[in-house]
Amino acid sequence: MCSSTISAGIHCVTFQPTPGTTNQDRFVAQEWDVGGRRWKFLAVLDGHGGNFTAEYSAATLPGRIEEELRGVVERYKGRSQKRYTKRVQEILSRQIYYFDKGLGDAIKELCPDPSLLDDEQARNLVNANKDVFQRALSGSTLAIALLDNERNHLWVAGLGDSTVGLAYMSPEGYGDGERLLTLHSTHTPLEYFTIVMRHPTTEKTTIIQDERLLGIALPTRGLGDYPLKFEPIYTSKLFFMLPCESEDFLTNIQANNKTPPYVMNIPDTRFIDLAPLRDRNPTLVLFTDGVDIIVDGETLVSKNESRTLDPAVVVGKLLGREIDPGYAQETLGHDAEANWMGSSEKRNRATELLGNLMAGTSKETFASFLGPAERGEWDDSWYFDDTTILLYDLQESQP
């Protein structure tokens, strides 16, 4: 239901209360010794259609980034900071793109032309290489932060609608926050426009249905999701051979996939110089869109009215040493308490944040989330998305 850890100073929590529901989120919290300095690597991945893509990506992609980073740090010693920081940014962009491309290339290496296979041949091919096909069929968002705190260097990268942001705290202890990258979702106007303009007008009634790509997907960029990236014959001949969480998923794609790809794999990346931000006491924050859903009031458990708030700002406010007494009530519908887990350095601040987002000081709201599940009274109409949060205090390892 809930798992929390503190690894390399990074506070992590992942949560899914629905009985019988597998949490498909994954996260990475690592410390690397590169160039004689301690680097942090943080990532959250929101899997969908199974956890295969998220699981494989979390286990494999960080190592590839670290390997190339080591070479670049060594080669760029003594070069200009601008060239160096741009080169590290390029590592993230290239490694993410080619990692995802590799998921699709593995399918095409096994089967360059699915039309040549009969059903039995296709089934045998899929069964013999099930892990390869599952990683391509399912999908995942990705939000990454790469930190060289000693040099005030932060790089971020993202695909999909998971968030990487910074929370700040004023001298008086009040918090604020900002998202560092644009979300890749049909709810983001520029992403919506880009997707629509990339495809012919003959698809205008099918490309976005119920605010989703082909009526299926909200993220417009991501890892995996190859039924939305490949020609439809790969779905009809191969992906249909795999079990799928929703019968409508592949059927809708098969009916409306005319000019793929619909989901892209080019990430947004950014470099941030932390030096000018130090006096604002920054904390690095990553979270999956379960946080957005809580803030928007869309969980059917909480039955709040839908809101239009910036989750990164709300998170920043809740991470302050002081919380405006009326803010949480006004924005979330319940009161919140700073440091409700106590002042111990061992307390998990990500868990503390999750608690304030979900229910704060309201025992009734907490009971609405946890009580029915514990008593076996969960209503199938209730909805709670997988929710994962990572926090790292950027003041922690400052010289």
Maximum distance among all alpha carbons in the chain? 69
In a domain, 398, yes or no: no
Model pLDDT, residue 252: 87
Which portions of the chain are predicted below pLDDT 70?
A: 247, 298-307, 362-383, 397-399
State both tokens at 283: 């904390």
In a domain, 198, yes or no: yes
CATH of the domain at 312: 3.60.40.10
In a domain, 204, yes or no: yes
Cα pseudo-dihedral 19, 29, 186, 312, rounded to 10: 100
In eight-state DSSP terms, residue 139 is: E
For residue 31, is it left (φ>0), alpha (ψ between -120 and 50) or beta?
Answer: beta
CB 143 within 8 A of CB 43: yes
State both tokens at 218: 């909200």
In a domain, 64, yes or no: yes
Say whether 238 sits in a helix, a strand or coil.
coil
Model pLDDT, residue 369: 63
Q: Is the alpha carbon torsion for 218, 223, 224, 230 positive or negative? A: positive
**Count of domains for the chain:** 1
* Domain range enclosing 25: 2-393
Distance CA 386, CA 285 (A): 17
In a domain, 11, yes or no: yes
In a domain, 193, yes or no: yes
What contacts 340, CB < 8 A, 6 or more positions away? Answer: 352, 355, 356, 361
Model pLDDT, residue 366: 65
Distance CA 49, CA 45 (A): 13
Tell me whether strands 208-209 and 153-159 are parallel, antiparallel or unpaired. Answer: unpaired
Model pLDDT, residue 300: 44
In a domain, 399, yes or no: no
In a domain, 36, yes or no: yes
